[in-house]
Amino acid sequence: GAPPEPAPDGEAYSAAAMVAIARSVAREADQIVHGLAWRLREDPVTPQARAVSTLELTDHIETLVTDVAKSLSLVGEMGGEPSQTLRDGTEVQRFLSELHGAQRARLGWTETTHAREFEILRDEVETAVRREAAAVPHGRADVDMALAFLGGFIDHAEHASLRGMRVAVAAGRT
Q: pLDDT of 11-29, one tens digit each? A: 567 888 899 999 999 999 9
In the predicted model, is pLDDT for residue 41 greater than 80?
A: yes
Q: What is the mean pLDDT of the chain?
A: 88
Short-list 30, 85, 59, 41, CA closest to 164: 59
Q: What is the pLDDT of residue 4?
A: 43
**pTM of full prediction above 0.85:** yes
Q: CB 19: neighbour CB atoms within 10 A?
A: 17
Mean pLDDT of 27-48: 96
7-21, 81-95, 130-144: range with lowest mean pLDDT: 7-21
Rg of the chain (C-alpha set)? 16
Q: CA–CA distance from 70 to each of 78, 88, 171 (Å)? A: 12, 11, 33
Give the C-alpha separation, 49 to 95, whole Å.
23
Q: With bands split at pLDDT 50, 70 and 90, how would you rate the model's confidence at 3?
A: very low
Q: Tell me: pLDDT of 126 over 80.
A: yes
pLDDT tops 50 at residue 6: no
Distance CA 88, CA 84 (A): 6
Give the pLDDT of residue 140: 82
The full DSSP string for 91-154 is: HHHHHHHHHHHHHHHHTT--HHHHHHHHHHHHHHHHHHHHHHHHHS---HHHHHHHHHHHHHHH
Q: Identify which of 34, 33, 18 has the alpha carbon closest to the alpha carbon of residue 136.
A: 18
Coil/strand/helix, residue 52? coil
Give the mean model confidence (pLDDT) for residues 73-98: 81
